[in-house]
Structure 1
Amino acid sequence: MTNASGDPESTARPAPAVYLDTASSEPLHPAARETLLAALDAGYADPRRLHGPARSARLLLDNAREVVAECLGVRADEVTFTSSGTDAVHRGLLGLRLGRARQGTAVVHSAVEHSAVLRATAWVPGEHAAVGVDRHGRVSPGDLADAAARPGVAVAAVQSANHEVGTLQPIAELAEALGEVPLFMDACAGAGRQPLPDGWAAAAASAHKWGGPAGVGLLLVRKGARWRNPFPGDDRIDERSSGFENVPAALAAAAALRAVTTTAREVAQRQAELIDLVRTRVAALPDVEVVGHPTQRLPHLVTFSCLYVDGEALVHALDRRGFAVASGSACTASTLAPSHVLAAMGALTHGNVRLSLTREAARADVEAFLDVLPEVVTDLRAEVGL
């Protein structure tokens, strides 16, 4: 299509005025943008080669690994850059499983894990088991230990924080209860926002969740963990990686991680106060349930369910008002399938909204959302005769 002057018209919609979906992806941090642009000119070469440009790329990659290790409290040789958080989840979980092949093939996991864990588990043979959670989404150390004590269990998988409702899991207690069974931890939702808990053997994180570029994941494998590559091998030095690392993006991810961890406590306090406001105001609405743990949760995220309202309709109505939010399962939102997380918690699986704040989120924007929400919910209920 063209306009009156003959120029092509854009069919893209303008960006929403208030972005409230950072649990899906955080906007690129200025530190990441600056570093990425600078690194594009120096990090293009294959860091495995021996010539000058390759050595420069290798120095950049090593520097990125050192920065990530320092920010997350791990060793540099425990850090591997992958192509995504999903890739890191698959490699971490299945690698621990393969490392314990003599003990068994089964995976036990919480019922609220991300689809990356669920699909990886379904991909391999074994009598896998999902462990139930309480109404806040937390798994009991005793229940997990009982499931892991069955013959043939190789590994357990529990996320550090839930992607959808923000509930934190007692990782250190779970790891202690598991004994010799190693724990894989999906840390994608909370890495960079809170310190990593203790007790895990391998973990995964995703750079775009903390303001790094998309397409960069982190696989963390503790020194001494029994991990074996579950996929076809590569000729790279690090057996935990595959293919050519995106060196500029890895460096940008590290720069963003350093920036956000430096201010994490201050930002978390400010975000938690805003989320408390949302929880209080939303809970006062008729037939609306706030889900997730009231205190043991990520500071920037809240999910609530509205009875008699369709989640897709809620998203579109709020989008028209200038607010970008998520609905449906955190890992199947493109299909708006009912949330397996909310179902496992015994909560309403439809009519849910996940709101997650940016690091610069303003109180005025949150209050504007809260002012609009009751009218939107009322209008949608009226459309179905309620």
Structure 2
Amino acid sequence: MFTDSATSSSTETILSTRANLDAGGNARQRDVGLKAYNQALQDGWADPRRLHFEGRRAGTLLSGAREACASVFGVTPQEIHFAPSPAVAMQTLVAGVLAGRARVGKTAVTGATERAIILNALAHAQADVHSLSVDTAGRLEPENFSRAIATPGVALAITHHGNHEVGTIQPIAEFAAAAKAARVPLLLDACASVGQIPIASGWDGLVANPADWGAGQGIAIVALKARTRWRRAWPEDQDPLFPGGVSVPAAFAAAVTLQEAEAERVERAKFNAWATAQIIATVQAIDDCEVIGDQDNRLAGTLTFSCLYVDGEALTSEFDRQGFAVGSGSACTSLTLEPSHVLGAMGVLTHGNIRIGIDHDVTAADIDRFCRILPGAIATVRDHMGAGGL
């Protein structure tokens, strides 16, 4: 399609003034990832399962990607698997572990604030779901978890490390100890936490989403400990977990960007903590607005706030008009403007919410500008809804 220079220039100007504050599963692709992807596209275009030179070269790149990911997650390269998406990764992991432990039972212990890909995977696998309630900060109580997982017939436990919507961090070390004592595998949704906080330990299976740290869409990482019993619940294939193979360029880019995200994690966490503190202070100064989630034990780059007398979709559009991409509704459902079941489970306001995920290239100037326009954006939407004087 033809694009004239004026249109191209205008588009570049608009993009240069925008900031991505909707980075959860949607981070801008890192430069190092783009370079890695393009290089692997040239060198690793062949099927890595083929025996000729081109296939072996692609296989070498894929093996290197596995080794790089394994070093970050603290597993062996043989325990790293690449999936086409986090949803497929979670579906396969849940189905495989449930099938492998069918003699034990089919109960799955999980929390009420898990993402839809977990809930859908459990439903499709016909698990008996034991859903645990959370407090108003979105935190699962370790005592409740320990009691539930020790119940006869529990096949697996599954939860997130850091919540994708509100940022609350779960006490995974305590969950892992309880799971080990009960001899029940613990599966971990680490999509939101990788690149923000240190990798948790003690889990048996883990899913991570490279799109959260800037590797692009179309790839997911599964780390499955060799000790974990599982059984194939899908047609046989050369790849035991994910039939059909994987995109070598996507896997290579995921590994390279993971290493960069981990190298920058500590410094970036300091910036994100400062940035969220600025946003929180701004929100708290506005009438009938509240910040959701644990205010201390949280992912520094993830934040949700809710406002009375405001429609979340309208507020998202207003921020978009002023150059900021933000999220609203549920980050945990397939239809992102549905009311958040996470906020509902926490017993907090479920409408008029804005979800912030600070991207890796967001600057202090971006945060300052966002905080300047935030009160006016809320006031504008309230005025349009006839609630300006309330």
Q: Give the TM-score, by structure 2 length.
A: 0.93
What stretches of structure 2 of length at least 5 have no aligned partner? none
Query: Secondary structure of 2:281's match?
Result: helix
Instruction: Give the distance between the partners of 2:84 and 2:334, measured in 1 at CA.
Output: 21
Q: Could you tell me which amino acid in structure 1 is paired with residue 229 of structure 2?
A: R
The match for 2:200 is: 197
Q: Unpaired segments of 5 or more residues in structure 1?
A: none
Structure 1: distance between partners of 2:347 and 2:261: 34
Rounded to whole Å, the distance in 2 between the matches of 1:215 and 1:9 is 27
Contact 1:203/1:219 (8 A) holds in 2: yes
2:226 aligns with: 223
- What is the rounded CA distance, in whole Å, between the counterparts of 2:75 and 2:296 in structure 1? 27
Partner of 2:41: 40
Structure 2 residue identity aligned to 1:68 = C
**Per-residue deviation at 1:2?**
10
SS in 2 for 1:40: helix
- Pairing of 1:10-25 with structure 2 (within 5 A): 15=15, 17-25=18-26
Are 1:329 and 1:339, in contact at CA under 8 Å, matched by a contact in 2? Answer: yes
Q: Would you say the 8 A contact 1:96–1:202 is kept in 2?
A: no
The amino acid across from 2:201 in the alignment is D
Determine helix, strand or coil for the equivalent of 1:97.
helix
State the aligned residue count.
Answer: 382
| Identity %, equivalent residues | 40
Question: 1:9 Cα deviation (Å)?
Answer: 11
Q: CA deviation at 1:64?
A: 0.5
1:305 aligned residue: 306
Counterpart of 2:370?
369
* Amino acid in the other structure paired with 1:194: I
Q: Which moved more, 1:324-333 or 1:249-258?
A: 324-333
Q: CA deviation at 1:24?
A: 3.2
Higher alpha-carbon deviation: 190-199 or 285-294 = 190-199
Q: Does the Cα contact within 8 Å between 2:20 and 2:358 map onto a contact in 1?
A: yes
Take 1:51 and 1:42, find their aligned partners in 2: how far apart are those partners?
A: 13
Distance 1:9 1:48 in 2: 41
Amino acid across the alignment from 2:55: A
Q: CA RMSD in A?
A: 2.3
Q: CA deviation at 1:157?
A: 0.8
Please point out which of 162, 187, 209 is paired with 1:184. 187
Quote the offset at 1:321 in angstroms.
1.3
Q: Among 217, 233, 250, which residue is 2:236 paired with? A: 233
CA contact (8 A) 2:114 2:332 kept: no
Per the alignment, residue 322 of structure 1 pairs with 323
Classify 1:233/1:342 alpha carbon distance in 2 versus 1 (closer, same or farther; 3 Å): same
Match of 1:51 in 2: 52
Q: TM-score, normalised by structure 1?
A: 0.93
Deviations 1:318-373 (A, max 9, x none): 11111110000003374511100001111100000011112232222112111111
**AA paired with 2:176?**
A
Conserved? CA contact 2:94–2:125, under 8 Å: no
Structure 2 distance, partners of 1:382, 1:100, is 56
Bigger proportion of residues as helix: 2
Asked whether the equivalents of residues 61 and 251 of structure 1 are also in contact (C-alpha less than 8 Å), the reply is yes
Contact persistence 1:82–1:245 (CA under 8 A): yes
2: CA distance between counterparts of 1:385 and 1:21? 28
Runs of 4+ aligned structure 1 residues displaced above 6 Å come to 7-10
Task: Write the distance in 2 (CA, Å) between the matches of 1:139 and 1:46.
Answer: 44
- Deviation at 1:21? 0.7
Q: Is the CA contact 1:82–1:242 (under 8 Å) kept in the aligned structure 2? A: no
1:76-225 map, 5 Å: 76-178=77-179, 179-225=182-228
